[in-house]
Structure 1
Amino acid sequence: MLLIVQKSFFCVYRDSGSRNFKSLLDLGSLTLVRSTIKNQRSQTFKAFYASLRKAPPADIDDVPSDNDFILSILRANASSRDAKPYFASFSPRPRPVPALPQIDEATPVEFREPLPVTEHPKVSPLIASIIDPVIRRTALVKIQGPFNQVQLDSIARGMVYLEKLGLVSVIVVENDDVQRGEQDSRSVIVEDTMRLVSCLEKHGARARPVLGAVVRLGPKPEDPETVQDFVPPEAHTCPSDLVPIRSALRSGEIPVIPPFALDSFCRSVRIDANDVIGALARGMAEAGSQSSSADASIEASGEVDLTPLRLMIINREGGVPSYARTGFPHLLINLDSESKHIRETFHESWRHTHKTALSNLALAKTCLTYMPPTSSAVMVSHRSQSSLIGNLITNRPAVSSSLPHALLQGNRKLTPHTPTLIRRGLPIRVVRTVENIDRNKMNALLEQSFGRTLEETDFYDRLKRTLDFVIIAGDYAGAAIVTNEPSSDLSQPISYLDKFAVLPSHQGDGTVDFLWVALHDESYGLGHPFSANPNGGKEGQGEGRDLVWRSRANNPVNKWYFERSSGHVRMGDWVLFWCDAEKRLKIEQGRRGRAGLSYIEDWEEGRLASWIDVVHKIPSSWKK
């Protein structure tokens, strides 16, 4: 069986043409074999479970095929670097090596007990990964219907795929067409819950309806009355309320929960699903943090870590519409610095087409406050459920928000159903004088990011003469330093990206994209309406300038730079990159009409030689 599975995976992979062979082969083989074994177990249990309900077992053809599952993984296009956070969260921890018995050196050799001779046969990594199970994590999922049967089948299939990768969903069902207080609203919600349970079982999962209330109305007694810039949920949980969820997860079942809560009279009433999810996010995160030696105990017992790793909102609207993308969804949202601006620029027409976008954004902010810093939320249309696999493996958006605007506008992946990835994020600010830089924190950031020792005196002396601005993310978690380098051949100084650095602990959490988007808005993207993001800088006002920078030819980050630059040229051991001012390019294109831009425009002649000449003379910032 194992050989057949591996062979089928290799054929699918070879036809895909992906370059990330090693990382995806390991990931795909590992998950595929686990899923094969799990499917067989689930079929046995499902037949037994169905017989208890006096319902015929689901047909075997309805179970999603392994090929579909593998193709969904391949479409994520995850490199080994992208998949590191996934393996860090789901791979088993190394087991301690047992110590050998101590030998008393004073005892004669002939009286010592012989050491046990243990043969250690070579075990295939694939078989070892099957024997050593993956850690299971939880995701909070809001199914915001109503959905027809085909749509519900598609959503259920996505939940099953995520479970195969180790992410077990705790689902809360909502129906936007049935208002609270309406006659039979409870029975409709219960019926929707049972339909979803049936769909999950039909596609090979084990699901359990939890029809009793798992949250209580009102804030927690110990909570403060007001919290600045934060909307706490209108419900809370006690440890005993999570028992049904724990029981379901321990039994390998997906809990499916209607939005019910206990009021002060211990009556079960229907409330907003957002309040249920917010209360569960807090309660589950607190339950997970209270477990001593969480990882070790979870691996030993086979239980699921209750701390939510993802928040998934699956609806009919899709993501949060963006003013910068003509109504297409935001790709990546930095809640800390962008949520207020998104609310202020939300078009009135979107309040009819995306009625719950802002309330779901507020839900994400509430949940991510309680969830771990590496967690994320994703808002996705039911048409794009397969993108959830890519989000789980890479924890990044389907299309990078830091790509040039022209590439985003013409990108076929950018559709009304493209998911919106939401991160807790960091505040972004712009400073324009060396005196406003915290040198100790900046030094630590640069030296940790580049792995070299800064020549501090010379570096800051040069910044005093040439600094244009510095963009700082959070408490120096990342920074972009831009200088004005004088040129005798050009009418104005060159805008030069001197340093772009992110702490290793923040690489992979969205800080890189947040920082580059702010750099775009403050330099070569100036003058466009979509650059008017509030970050303490020019907020989109002014004329964009060409941005130039250099990088070592062997720098592994160069692939990322290639995708974001307008062009590059080799300079021996260096590569010179640049981004053209986007507003000027747009004006030139409008002036020429259908003729388009030529290979070299008049205003481009001679600039490349001037850039190379100036950049070559910029001294190194590092100690030798």
Structure 2
Amino acid sequence: MILQNLACKKGKGVAGHSVQCWAKRRRHLEAFPEDGTRGFATDRPSASQLREELAKEHVKNLSNKQKAKKEARAVDKDFFMSVLNSSATKRDAKAYIQRFTPSKESPKPPQTNSAAPEQRTHPSQGNGVNLGGLYGPASVVGSPQFLQYPHKQTGSLVGPRLHVALVKIRAPQTLDDETLNGVGRTLSQLARLGLLSVVVVDCNRVPESTQDPTWRSVATTQANRIVAAIDSEGVTEARLVDNIIGVYEGSEEPRYGAHTPIATHVTLRELMMTPLRRGVIPVIPSLGYTDMTQTAVPILASDAVLALTRELAGLPTQTCPDEDPEEVRERLQTRRAEVSLDRIIILDPLGGIPTSDRPNGYHVFLNMEQEFEPAKKDLLKGVQLDTAEASLQGQSKRDHVSDLGSSNPFSRFVETEFGGPKSTPQTVASEPEATTTPKPENKYHLQNLELVRSVLSMLPPSSSALLTTPDEAANAGKETPFRAGGVGTRRHRNPLIHNLLTDKPVFSSSLPMGRLGQTKSMMGDDPSTLAASITPTTFAKHGMHITMFPDPKLAPWEPPQPGKKHIKLTDSYIDLPRLVHLINDSFGRTLDVKEYLKRVNGRIAGVIIAGEYEGGALLTWETPPGVPDDGSPESRARMVPYLDKFAVLKKSQGSGGVADAVFTAMVRDCFPNGVVWRSRSTNVVNKWYFERSRGTWKLTNTGWTMFWTTPEMDRQTFLDYEAVCRGIEPSWADGKSILD
């Protein structure tokens, strides 16, 4: 029967093709002279002419198809190249391509029966029906297998791993269509770049709002607006999925871990996974159904995000009594192999997480391991400034954000060959006084902060979070005026696209505010203009712990005093072998440990360690030449705070925020009054150093460039800095004459 059907279909196809060819040939055989009469046999073109015309038509059609394909490839190439060129360095572009290029072998779920894969990809052997090579292997894949003792199917084949971002959009009802269309365009571009979104719509409804009869229509309407905004681009499709979240009933709520109560869970999983596999963006309103009565109830958007996180990450949840534990385990393993939940993106009209520690009013980068509790306390106390007010406060000493002022007699020492702006006079303002009344919007900031903490605690360390405003996310869809959103004169970047390509914030967290382009001196005194120039975006990672020896919170780092114990690298709380490995790996050279310890022990100011020795800084107190090192007050007053080694493991360079975290800890917590260091004049890292320093000076006839962060420096201090940087001898075992 199967063969008859195939023959019938084949015959119909051949007959149709023959009729088309006959009709086409007849049109060519008939000739129409100018007098309107129809001619036949004598006017018919020759067979060779017919073949030539048919060949020309075939070539023309083929050429048009190839041209269309070439144009489509050119459009795609232009899109990717324009995005990569405008938003990423070569290193970032390479890392992005490595992350999002599918592997040659698609990941497959683990199999408990080794025979199962063979049964799905080859003709059955033994008890099955062996079709031999009649149709070839391709026609057998996925076809029914007639087995006398069928094996249990333990999983399904999966394609290339899906890279997914969870996106929560708060208060979409407050956004105009233009902004929402811009957000849809950006989500569509993310999908073209390899990152599919699962969108959760947050209309600020709470479970108590069931008495409001409009809650469901509002949630559905706003979700449909987002679907329409994504579909309007015509590149990526979106689909409303409003019946996949289940709500546990009863007084006891299951819990997963320390921070994530499970009030919700995903029920109809394939309603979400099927669109994702097809490249369609699911849009999910904050709507759930009770497990027992299947009643629609409003849920917190944060609970929906947590439920989706557990499902996409393949984490265990409460199972139904009739579910087979073995099937559940295999399903979770399959999900982990199929999906990589890379990011959580929160689009909130309030923007990122505010802070009182930066003049722009927002955290640029949050190392959750180190900074979650301080950020939470800051929000609970309401210690924050209005963005415009914070901008008007100027540059404070504690934040090290101003350049070396031109009013300083030594401003001529500031080098500009690295491409940075020349210094301008800056007025150092005192620290703003903290307000005592928490602001109402802090409730939403706290919810966002807690949600990011909970999601990242369930994901691998490589995952990240981005919090920004819908306006910032939509800027790719608007004609925006020029404004400096990064260092110097770089054009404003879409934070979502930039973060996807680089896995970094829009600008470095250790970058002083004075290097961000638009400052008060450039824009005047208009608070609204200043507020609009600041990007309220926060990038967060689970991060790593930053350890400082000694702890500057207990006592500030001061020059060594006679009779007091000095910190040494051989102390038990410092892992010297790992520290040496960090330095050797970062510099690509071998440290002469004996000579180095001989030089620095007794003058160490402190050590900063990031994570498990992924990065670090070693700082010393150096005595300028000609100053007696006798511990007297005069000698201690002249001692120079010197950054002797700044190291990051090669695998952590350029990503993860390790260097930023170490540098920020150094200038903010350890040496708020300034520190000096030197670097090879040809070092590629000098641009990074230049952007974070108050000034630089090339040491003639040495091959060194000197950098410092000291806000106010007189002539004697400058000369001491220069003398120290000229006089220190390297301590390398493999060619001490080579600059470090």
TM-score normalized by the length of structure 2: 0.59
Q: Aligned runs of 1:340-351 on 2, under 5 Å?
A: 340-346=373-379, 348=382, 351=439
Q: Which of 329, 339, 346 does residue 313 from structure 1 map onto?
A: 346
Whether 1:286 aligns to 2:423 is no
Local SS of the residue matching 1:449: helix
Whether 1:550 aligns to 2:678 is yes
2:76 alignment partner AA = V
Retained in 2: the 8 A contact 1:408–1:414?
A: no
Whether 1:208 aligns to 2:248 is no
2:101 alignment partner AA = S
Retained in 2: the 8 A contact 1:73–1:389?
A: no
Retained in 2: the 8 A contact 1:90–1:136?
A: no
> 1:7 and 1:519, CA in 2 relative to 1: closer, same or farther beyond 3 A?
farther
Retained in 1: the 8 A contact 2:677–2:725?
A: no
1:540-596 Cα deviation digits (max 9, x unpaired)? xxxx13x222223333222212222221314556433322323x37xxxxxxxxxxx
CA positional deviation for 1:318? 0.9
> 1:153 and 1:443, CA in 2 relative to 1: closer, same or farther beyond 3 A?
same
Whether 1:445 aligns to 2:582 is yes
Whether 1:613 aligns to 2:726 is yes
Local SS of the residue matching 2:638: coil
Distance 2:730 2:230 in 1: 62
Retained in 2: the 8 A contact 1:569–1:576?
A: yes
> 1:294 and 1:579, CA in 2 relative to 1: closer, same or farther beyond 3 A?
farther
RMSD, aligned CA: 3.6
Distance 2:734 2:334 in 1: 43
Distance 1:250 1:226 in 2: 29
- Structure 2 equivalent of residue 110 of structure 1: none
Q: Which of 367, 374, 377 does residue 455 from structure 2 map onto?
A: 367
Counting aligned pairs with the same residue, the percent is 29
Retained in 2: the 8 A contact 1:135–1:166?
A: no
CA positional deviation for 1:293? 10
Q: Aligned runs of 1:213-612 on 2, under 5 Å?
A: 213-217=244-248, 227=258, 231-237=259-265, 241-265=268-292, 266-286=294-314, 305-326=338-359, 328-346=361-379, 348=382, 351-385=439-473, 386-408=494-516, 410=518, 415-432=533-550, 433-434=567-568, 435=571, 436-489=573-626, 491-507=637-653, 508-524=655-671, 526=672, 544-545=673-674, 547-565=675-693, 566-570=695-699, 574-582=703-711, 584=712, 601-604=714-717, 606-612=719-725
Retained in 2: the 8 A contact 1:310–1:377?
A: yes
> 1:430 and 1:467, CA in 2 relative to 1: closer, same or farther beyond 3 A?
same
1:217 alignment partner AA = Y
Q: Which of 78, 90, 100 does residue 100 from structure 2 map onto?
A: 90
2:273 alignment partner AA = R
**Alignment coverage as a number of residue pairs:** 487
1:329-367 Cα deviation digits (max 9, x unpaired)? 211111111111112223536632454112101111111
CA positional deviation for 1:86? 1.4
> 1:577 and 1:242, CA in 2 relative to 1: closer, same or farther beyond 3 A?
farther
> 1:294 and 1:319, CA in 2 relative to 1: closer, same or farther beyond 3 A?
same
Local SS of the residue matching 1:356: helix
1:549 alignment partner AA = W
Retained in 1: the 8 A contact 2:205–2:300?
A: no
CA positional deviation for 1:322? 1.8
Distance 2:599 2:539 in 1: 39
Whether 1:183 aligns to 2:203 is no
Distance 2:263 2:679 in 1: 52
2:224 alignment partner AA = M
1:272 alignment partner AA = L
Distance 1:188 1:148 in 2: 15
Distance 2:538 2:546 in 1: 20
CA positional deviation for 1:422? 0.8
Distance 1:413 1:30 in 2: 41
> 1:214 and 1:169, CA in 2 relative to 1: closer, same or farther beyond 3 A?
same
CA positional deviation for 1:292? 10
Retained in 1: the 8 A contact 2:244–2:269?
A: no
Retained in 2: the 8 A contact 1:329–1:416?
A: no
Retained in 2: the 8 A contact 1:319–1:329?
A: yes
1:377 alignment partner AA = A
> 1:278 and 1:225, CA in 2 relative to 1: closer, same or farther beyond 3 A?
closer
Local SS of the residue matching 2:351: coil
CA positional deviation for 1:137? 1.1
CA positional deviation for 1:474? 1.4
CA positional deviation for 1:177? 6.6
Distance 1:93 1:151 in 2: 36
> 1:514 and 1:246, CA in 2 relative to 1: closer, same or farther beyond 3 A?
same
Local SS of the residue matching 2:209: coil
> 1:31 and 1:86, CA in 2 relative to 1: closer, same or farther beyond 3 A?
farther
CA positional deviation for 1:198? 1.5
Distance 2:314 2:507 in 1: 33
1:127-146 Cα deviation digits (max 9, x unpaired)? xxxxxx99641100001122
2:685 alignment partner AA = V
Distance 1:198 1:207 in 2: 8
2:238 alignment partner AA = A
Retained in 2: the 8 A contact 1:390–1:398?
A: yes
CA positional deviation for 1:324? 2.1
Q: Which of 154, 163, 166 does residue 137 from structure 1 map onto?
A: 163
Distance 1:322 1:397 in 2: 16
Q: Which of 158, 164, 182 does residue 154 from structure 1 map onto?
A: 182
Distance 1:224 1:372 in 2: 20
Q: Which runs of 5+ in 1 are unaligned?
A: 9-28, 35-65, 97-132, 299-304, 527-543, 586-600
Retained in 2: the 8 A contact 1:144–1:316?
A: yes
Retained in 2: the 8 A contact 1:548–1:579?
A: yes
Q: Which runs of 5+ in 2 are unaligned?
A: 1-63, 107-158, 317-328, 383-436, 474-493, 520-529, 551-566, 628-636, 736-740
CA positional deviation for 1:369? 1.3
Local SS of the residue matching 2:508: coil
TM-score normalized by the length of structure 1: 0.70
- Structure 2 equivalent of residue 539 of structure 1: none
CA positional deviation for 1:153? 0.9
